[in-house]
Amino acid sequence: MFEIIQDRFVKLQRKLLGYGRLSSKEIDEAMREIRTMLLEADVNYKVVGQFIRNLQASLEQEKIYQSLKPGELVNVILYKEMVKLLGEKPEKIQFSADPLIINLVGLQGTGKTTFAAKLANRYKNKRPLLVACDPKRPAASEQLKLLAERVQADFFPVTDSALKTALKSLDQANGKKHQLVIFDTAGRLHIDDELMQELKEIKEKTKPHYNLLVVDGMVGQDAVNQATEFHSRLGISGSIVSKMDGDAKGGAVVSIRKVSGAPIFFIGTGEKVEDLEEFYPDRIASRILGMGDIASLVEKVESVVKVEDQKKAAEKFIKGEFNLEDFLNQLKAVKKMGSLSKLLGMIPGAQGLNVDDLDFTRTEAIILSMTRQERARPEIIDGSRRKRIAIGSGTSVEEVNRLLKEFKQAKELTKSLGKGIPKLGTIKPPKGWRRR
């Protein structure tokens, strides 16, 4: 799956990693390459255009950090944009009703019947009922029956019109305690009004919890067009892209969500009933881009960014520009990191704060009860303000006093420390000192 596009992405990323710095020339070149690669993988041209614009915008926003190779940053941005394009969060079947009704629609030969069996196999514990809803082709019903036997699911044959069969099957489901009912509807070679009318009727009368469209990933943009049309005419909950095990170029998977507006739920990766994968945008993105170890790269970039933020806070601190707002942000960060010592290690001079005495949550509460102005300029906090803050935070005036006093001391201390530390490069050798 995605082999061709993956190969090219891997080559591009290696090239990017090789650069010591990235000027706009190299970036433009990379963007052009990405555009060509996506178009050749049969990704919708509008999606490609938007993707490149998003990439450029994200790149402009990101600062380049010294401790990161520029290529690393570009790769992480590329990955993140790809995840966004694919839908960010996975869509999962939620068993919010009993029985849960899933209606499968799609053109003939896309893999509906196969997917019905795959789904029944996946949710065996829900005692699925597979319902044949194609009265015109007896072979279709027979195929579903065989597959139902294979996955040991109950089968409901088509006896009447599609709609009547579907309704009858629901009676049986309620009686026999099936928690999942799957309708395998008829497909046509083309989308026509008759097909849509039939599907609309089934949808309106049986009220399925999910209407899933099955499309064939091998047909590329045709699959995307089908999804768009089914979604606008019938309304679907999402799509299934089948046959991704073949030499599908991947264009359908990349474009379908953005173009049709409906998310992908699963991809089919073979003819067997086990060949089904839940669609995780992040995993698929790393596969498309051929990024085996993207998780750790993302982590690295994020930790560098965090450290840079901390450094900035530390600089402010040294210059005496650190205010209570910054302090609050730091407290929140510490809470997330779960360790105060880790944070203090990053702030020179923070040792001036008597942390042992500081109750974390109370300190946060005190600062939260201050106005923005007060946090920025603690010196304006007079007696009446102190009282208000103490009441607001459920603490005492003494505690507020102590926090303000300690903060002031720490600030003065670091300020004087900051002045005392000569800038690197300005240190002169003592008199009489000679190079030997």
Binding site for ligand GDP (CB under 6 A): 106, 108-114, 187, 214, 242-243, 245-246, 268-271, 275
Q: Which does 401 bind (CB under 5 to 8 A by kind): Mg ion, ligand GDP, none?
A: none
Question: 139 or 427, CB closer to ligand GDP?
Answer: 139
Closest CA to 166 of 127, 118, 133: 133
Q: Which does 378 bind (CB under 5 to 8 A by kind): ligand GDP, Mg ion, none?
A: none
HEC per residue, the chain: CCHHHHHHHHHHHHHHHHCCCCCHHHHHHHHHHHHHHHHHCCCCHHHHHHHHHHHHHHHHHCCCCCCCCHHHHHHHHHHHHHHHHHCCCCCCCCCCCCCEEEEEECCCCCCHHHHHHHHHHHCHHHCCEEEEECCCCHHHHHHHHHHHHHCCCEEECCCCCHHHHHHHHHHHHHHHCCCEEEEEECCCCCCCHHHHHHHHHHHHHHCCCEEEEEEEHHHCHHHHHHHHHHHHHCCCCEEEEECCCCCCCCHHHHHHHHHHCCCEEEEECCCCCCCEEECCHHHHHHHHCCCCCHHHHHHHHHHHHHHHHHHHHHHHHHCCCCCHHHHHHHHHHHHHHCCHHHHHHHCCCHHHCCCCCCCHHHHHHHHHCCCHHHHHCHHHCCHHHHHHHHHHHCCCHHHHHHHHHHHHHHHHHHHHHHHHCCCCCCCCCCCCCCCC
Q: Which stretch binds Mg ion (CB under 5 A): 5-13, 24-32, 107-115, 392-400?
A: 107-115
Question: 81 or 134, CB closer to Mg ion?
Answer: 134
By beta carbon distance, the residue nearest ligand GDP is 268
Question: 273 or 298, CB closer to ligand GDP?
Answer: 273
Q: Which stretch binds Mg ion (CB under 5 A): 14-22, 111-119, 215-223, 321-329?
A: 111-119
Q: Which of 48, 83, 131, 140: binder of Mg ion (CB under 5 A)?
A: 140
- Give the burial string for 76-89 (b: 16+ CB within 10 Å, else e): bbbbbbbbbbbbee
Residue 183 Cβ, how far from Mg ion at the closest point, in Å? 11
Q: Which of 13, 44, 103, 113: binder of Mg ion (CB under 5 A)?
A: 113
Q: Which does 269 bind (CB under 5 to 8 A by kind): ligand GDP, Mg ion, none?
A: ligand GDP
Q: Which does 110 bind (CB under 5 to 8 A by kind): Mg ion, ligand GDP, none?
A: ligand GDP
Q: Which does 231 bind (CB under 5 to 8 A by kind): Mg ion, ligand GDP, none?
A: none
Question: 6 or 185, CB closer to Mg ion?
Answer: 185
CB 150 within 8 A of CB 273: yes
Residue 226 Cβ, how far from ligand GDP at the closest point, in Å? 12
Question: 118 or 203, CB closer to ligand GDP?
Answer: 118
Question: 44 or 121, CB closer to Mg ion?
Answer: 121
Question: 104 or 301, CB closer to ligand GDP?
Answer: 104
Residue 292 Cβ, how far from Mg ion at the closest point, in Å? 37
Q: Which does 242 bind (CB under 5 to 8 A by kind): ligand GDP, Mg ion, none?
A: ligand GDP
Question: 51 or 210, CB closer to ligand GDP?
Answer: 210
Question: What are the distances in angstroms from CA 248 to CA 26, 145, 251, 254, 257?
Answer: 30, 29, 8, 12, 17
For Mg ion, how many residues bind (rule: CB under 5 A)? 3
Question: 214 or 318, CB closer to ligand GDP?
Answer: 214
User: In the structure encoding, which two tokens stand for residue 432, read together?
Assistant: 């009489």
Handedness of CA 36, 42, 48, 49 (dihedral sign): positive
Question: 77 or 140, CB closer to Mg ion?
Answer: 140
Q: Which stretch binds Mg ion (CB under 5 A): 72-80, 120-128, 140-148, 400-408?
A: 140-148
Residue 316 Cβ, how far from ligand GDP at the closest point, in Å? 56
Residue 241 Cβ, how far from ligand GDP at the closest point, in Å? 9
Cα–Cα distance measured from residue 88 to residue 70, given in angstroms and rounded to the nearest whole number: 24
Residue 212 Cβ, how far from Mg ion at the closest point, in Å? 14
Q: Which does 99 bind (CB under 5 to 8 A by kind): ligand GDP, Mg ion, none?
A: none
Q: Which does 352 bind (CB under 5 to 8 A by kind): Mg ion, ligand GDP, none?
A: none
Q: Which stretch binds Mg ion (CB under 5 A): 136-144, 153-161, 324-332, 387-395?
A: 136-144
User: In the structure encoding, which two tokens stand for residue 16, read together?
Assistant: 């990017």
By beta carbon distance, the residue nearest Mg ion is 113
Residue ranges that bind Mg ion, judged by CB under 5 A = 112-113, 140
